[in-house]
Chains A and B, each alone.
Chain A
Amino acid sequence: MIHSGAVVAAGVSQGRSTSLKKDFKIFEYFRRDTEKRDFVSAGAAAGVSAAFGAPVGGVLFSLEEGASFWNQMLTWRIFFASMISTFTLNFFLSIYHNKTGDLSSPGLINFGRFESDSVAYNLYEIPLFIAMGAIGGLLGALFNILNYWLTIFRIRYVHRPCLQVMEAMLVAAVTATVSFAMIYFSNDCQPLGPDHAEEYPLQLFCADGEYNSMATAFFNTPERSVRSLFHNQPGTYNPLTLGMFTLTYFFLACWTYGLTVSAGVFIPSLLIGAAWGRLFGILLASITSSGSIWADPGKYALIGAAAQLGGIVRMTLSLTVIMVEATGNVTYGLPIMLVLMTAKIVGDYFVEGLYDIHIKLQSVPFLHWEAPATSHWLTAREVMSSPVTCFNRIEKVGTIVDVLSITSTNHNGFPVVMHVAGSDEPAKLCGVILRSQLIVLLKHKVFVELARSRLTQRKLQLKDFRDAYPRFPPIQSIHVSQDERECMMDLTEFMNPTPYTVPQETSLPRVFKLFRALGLRHLVVVDDENKVVGLVTRKDLARYHLGKHGLEELQLAQT
């Protein structure tokens, strides 16, 4: 849902479709990177809000995970989007359930309400909750490690598309086989209740009037299973069945995540956590004799679900609010927050969160909020890339085309230097120009020699640059004739005349902060005479991570 929301937001906000080649000529203001980023964050928040019925949780999810550059206006806009999203879903679901106007299903996934009077917790249960959080962190770390090795294997050996499709089919087949075998050999029969709690009970080898509860566990949708685990009466679940189900589901979920199918990890981990949480509650109730009511297994299922999800994805703030809103009870906010924090601390000791692992494996140059802790001894000189490909202020078209056509280095930004006339001094920095701008200039043939003829034609406008966004034509599709290669291009009007620069001795944290806070793409490193010495890009900064033995420099792969 988060993904769909982000995709829809990114597409709708541009007011056109590049694949269908249709331009509706609206929302032209939003055809920029900054605006599109904001829309994607809002889309992700709206997705969370629609999925869980948690608008504030969606805003916090965007704040925590979905946006790198946050400003105050964005808070209000994203909150508005989340609220509209959940109420639209509510309205349409009410129509679907033939009860138009009865706005009672705020999210696709409904965990049922936890009424304060029926399920209360005591102060002495909080250490138990924290213990469950630690268990969730351990299990989550195990899940992440297994998935990490599996993903490495997949990247190395299963990289052809036909193999990937076959793998997905195999996983589906094995999941069905395992489920069938477990249902076939299960002996756990529960009597059919009069309230018809099960929609499709399966009798199989049970006596008449009973149904196979292992079949119910496997055939229910995960959301329904989670809700049953939260709210069913004590005694509904047989511990052995539940334990076998949890074990099988854990390994199947670990195997399934990372396949080339659109599958998530939220609901499966909630289900795993709810199952072992309920087991924990049943165990507690059996240990404390005289059948005391305080160990209600539904409450422990909720805590277990939060612990497992926190152990796998390591999100604290947004998950707390999402679960509080989805269960409709603020009383559980404190235990859930403690549990998630514990799970994160315990899990982070072993391995990173699942999403971070996959980001690293995909070689995405992702910058965290702060520079790595012990990196203040690194200077810009060690971080930067050098030597830098620069252009002169008035540059030959042939040189430009040749530089842009180099496929081994896919540079996007070029410093523009100015040679002092008549002397041998090295050139000083006077601006920065982007690849996309150069391509637009080449396409419109903005050459010095053609200036006079161009006066009769219309001048180049900002609109021409925005129109090509986001898919600028590659340099190969621009045809430049031999004569045109000898022409000169004046970059003065089109470059950014005041680029951000740092001296060579600037420490890495300072460079990082400047880069990250301003959202830069290229940061020019100059010496004391304003000569270009090097260039810092995102890929240079993202190499440095705090590993087990201090600061590490990882190498990024070409993607």
Chain B
Amino acid sequence: MSLRKISALLTVLVINISAPASSDGANPAAPDSVEKLNQIPAVVVESPVFKPAADSYFSLNLLSAFPEDLEVSDYCTDLLHIFGQRYVAYVNCLVPAARPVKVCQSCFASYGSLMEIYTNISSDQMGPGNVSCRDSLLRSDRLMLVYLLYNNLMDIWTTSGCTYCVANGFQSLTNDTLYFMSALNQSLACFEKYQQQGNHSELCKECKNTYRSLNELYGRMEKNNTLCIDTEDAMNVTRRLWSKSFNCSFPREETVPVIAVSSFMLFLPIIFYLSSFLHSEQKKRKLIHPKRAKSNTSLMNIQDKFS
């Protein structure tokens, strides 16, 4: 029997015996197989990230044999696992808050914890056992998956401008934002109170002051640049409600005077040109009559050409 067949038999034996066993152990009940196993290079079980799938990864790991110094240490795999959990939690928080946009106020805590674990992973400090997880997790391959995923979320955070709404190291919203939210709630409450089908004129009258103060507050925040996407979107929706649904913005009132004045002004040049046509004497231009030599032959030439 060849060595290969013996080792295959023994590996199958080892799989069946040590499937429920821990990641470290080779089964002490089969010393022969342990020795044989030691001869087979790098058969140490690589524990994948998610332990329940150990079975399926086991054979894969045995077939692909990596040298020892490329393995990811346990500390780093733990960090990776935590990163995965927090990532999923954040995205699960984001998606329901997509419309109407509430990403800043709902999910800032999750983002805070995600940022914390990533800073941990990417820090320069050596973890226990003198390993730096930054290189092994973030920069080992062309894809750089962890880096890409985190950057994506960071871009979303920056584009939505949530830094302007969240204060105190991801503990709470800023005072400005809270004040704005309360003013918004006031306006919305006013809308609800006076809302009735058909005529919105009463709503326009009663809620005008609250709406105007909300608008001014928004304008101030815009000038100070303390806006995040939540406030922008809320304001947008309110404005759309006010202008389009309730039709409360300024109507065109004075069309007749505008048309009258415009027609008058348009008439003025016609009058001007007509009067200058009729009254000014036409400026006659004096033509230069050059003195020419009289010669019959030349006159005939010109007449010939012109006829």
Listed in ascending order, the chain A residues whose CB lies under 8 Å from chain B are 153, 155-160, 163, 166-167, 170-171, 173-174, 177-178, 180-181, 184-185, 194, 205-209, 363, 377, 379, 381-382, 384-387, 533-534, 539-540, 550-551, 555-558
Contact = CB atoms under 8 A, between A and B. Distances in A.
Interface in B23-39: none
B291 interface: yes
Nearest to B269: A170
Contacts of A166: 272
22 contacts: A157-B276, A158-B276, A158-B280, A163-B280, A170-B272, A171-B269, A173-B268, A177-B266, A178-B262, A205-B250, A205-B252, A206-B249, A207-B244, A208-B242, A209-B235, A209-B236, A384-B292, A385-B290, A385-B292, A539-B290, A540-B290, A557-B286
Contacts of A163: 276, 280
B30 to A, nearest CB: 66
B209 to A, nearest CB: 15
A558 B262 CA distance: 42
Contacts of B287: 555-558
A503 to B, nearest CB: 14
Contact of A160 (B236, B280, B293, B302): B280
Interface string B236-266: 1001101110000111100100110110011
Nearest to B278: A157
Contact of A382 (B251, B276, B280, B302): B302
Interface of B: 215, 232, 235-236, 239-240, 242-244, 249-252, 255, 258-259, 261-262, 265-266, 268-269, 272-273, 276-277, 280, 282-283, 285-293, 295, 298, 301-302, 305
A221 to B, nearest CB: 23
B138 to A, nearest CB: 32
Contact of B249 (A173, A205, A385): A205
Contacts of A381: 293, 295, 298
Given A160-B280, A207-B244, 10 more contacts: A157-B277, A159-B280, A173-B265, A180-B258, A181-B262, A379-B298, A384-B292, A550-B305, A555-B287, A555-B288
A142 B43 CA distance: 89
Chain A interface, >50% SS class: mixed
A555 B287 CA distance: 7
* Most chain A CB within a 10 A radius of its CB, from B266, B287, B288: B288
Nearest to A177: B265
* Most chain B CB within a 10 A radius of its CB, from A156, A173, A205, A539: A156
Please name the 3 residue pairs, one residue from A and one from B, whose CB atoms are nearest each other, closest first: A207-B243, A557-B285, A177-B265
Contacts of B266: 174, 177-178
A551 B236 contact: no
Chain B interface, >50% SS class: helix
Contacts of B293: 381-382, 384, 386, 533-534
B149 to A, nearest CB: 26
Given A170-B272, A205-B251, A382-B298, A558 B292 contact: no
Nearest to A184: B258
Contacts of B250: 205
A271 B266 CA distance: 24
B273 A156 contact: no
B305 A377 contact: yes
Contacts of B244: 207
A397 B287 CA distance: 31
A387 B294 CA distance: 10
A214 to B, nearest CB: 14
Contacts of A556: 287-288
Contact of A177 (B243, B252, B262, B285): B262
Contact of A181 (B240, B243, B251, B258): B258
A174 B265 contact: yes
A491 B291 CA distance: 26
Nearest to A557: B285
A558 B285 contact: yes
A386 B292 contact: yes
A156 B282 contact: yes
A208 B265 contact: no
A207 B239 contact: yes
A153 B283 CA distance: 10
Contacts of A171: 269
A384 B294 CA distance: 11
Contacts of A558: 285-288
A173 B271 CA distance: 14
Contacts of A384: 292-293
A174 B269 contact: yes
Nearest to B271: A170
B280 A208 contact: no
Contacts of A533: 293
A209 B239 contact: yes
Contacts of B215: 208
A558 B244 CA distance: 67
Contacts of A181: 258-259, 262
Contacts of B269: 167, 170-171, 174
A166 B275 CA distance: 13
A387 B291 contact: yes
A158 B255 CA distance: 35
